[in-house]
């Protein structure tokens, strides 16, 4: 159980860093597949391409961790 708590802590730290410094990454949220709709007072933002890119990066990182773990 201790190992899972450490992994969960690392994931939370990485998520916090991304949320804190995410606004300073110029391409984050502005990829060609991200949809932004504005009509009057309503704004809808769907970061589809950004979600796919982040999912691929996370999958690659977890895959490499699994390979090197043995």
Q: Which of helix, strand or coil describes residue 32?
A: coil
Helix (H) or strand (E) holding 39: strand 35-39
pLDDT at 39: 92
Q: What is the pLDDT of residues 31-68, one digit of tens each?
A: 899 998 999 999 998 989 988 988 998 899 888 888 87
Q: What is the pLDDT of residues 6-29, one digit of tens each?
A: 888 888 888 888 778 766 777 777
pLDDT at 41: 93
pLDDT at 70: 65
pLDDT at 38: 92
Q: How far apart are CA 67 and CA 63, in angstroms?
A: 6
């Amino acid at each position: 159980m201790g190992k899972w708590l450490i992994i969960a802590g690392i994931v939370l730290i990485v998520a916090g860093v991304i949320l804190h410094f995410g606004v300073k990454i110029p391409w984050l949220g502005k990829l060609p597949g991200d949809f932004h709709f504005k009509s009057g007072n309503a704004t809808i933002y769907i970061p589809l391409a950004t979600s796919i890119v982040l999912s691929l990066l996370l999958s690659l990182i977890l895959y490499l961790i699994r390979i090197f773990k043995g």
